[in-house]
Amino acid sequence: MKKLFVLMSFIALGVSSVFAQKGEKAVGVNLGYGTEISNLGIGAKFQYGITDAIRAEASFNYFLKKDGANMWDVNVNAHYLFPIADKFKVYPLVGLTYANCKVDMGWSVEGMSPEDIQDLIDAGIIEDASEVTGETSSESEGRVGVNLGAGIQYDLSSKFAINFEVKYQLIKDFNQAVFGVGIAYKF
């Protein structure tokens, strides 16, 4: 119930603010690293300046496959921009995330030699050759969570900005820190 209330509050605030004022828009790309998935991610973002100090951001990130697992997330965050120098701004961020993780299950005999199967048994990954099938399966699960973090932005010009961001995603059974760098085109 608490999560639903927080989600509805963000949606109501976002919708009323977006229609109340027009501001700067930007699109960009991100490169990130997720600590739970332990791999790189690539993504895209859209930013909208609600006021001079408050910015909304929607983003999508895809974390590359590693050890049979991959992940993607969709985020809606609010930034409060503090100018600290001529072209530098720092910002705390708060928002919501929906993360989906997919894990491949089972082993495929395709391309596996009897020695490869024995190596899996010796490593304790499988108990015996009967666990190795001709097919693989996967399991996927998605969850809603909260983003908390901070970032710094440097304006390269009136049209381009780069940023570094650290956020912690609070997701049941899947908390992770995400470190990211990005570039955005402002229009």
More confident residue, 75 or 23: 75
CA distance 114 to 14: 58
Q: CA Rg, the chain, in Å? A: 21
Place of tokens 């697992």: 69
Is residue 17 predicted with pLDDT exceeding 50? Answer: no
- pLDDT the model gives residue 138: 73
Flag whether pLDDT at 5 surpasses 70. Answer: no
Delimit the domains of the chain by residue range. Answer: 2-105+142-186
pLDDT tens readout for residues 22-64: 589 999 999 999 998 899 999 999 999 999 999 999 999 999 9
CATH of span 2-105+142-186: 2.40.160.20
How far apart are alpha carbons 126 and 117 in whole angstroms? 9
The SS3 call for residue 117 is helix
Q: Mean pLDDT across the stretch 84-92? A: 95
Token pair 């304790």 in the structure block, residue: 124
Say how far apart CA 41 and CA 179 lie, in whole Å.
Answer: 10
d(CA 169, CA 141): 16
pLDDT for 161: 97
Confidence band for 118, pLDDT divided at 50, 70 and 90: confident
**Residue-wise pLDDT tens digits, 137-178:** 678 899 999 999 999 999 999 999 999 999 999 999 889 999
pTM to 2 decimal places: 0.71
Question: For residues 160 and 19, which has the higher predicted lDDT (pLDDT)?
Answer: 160
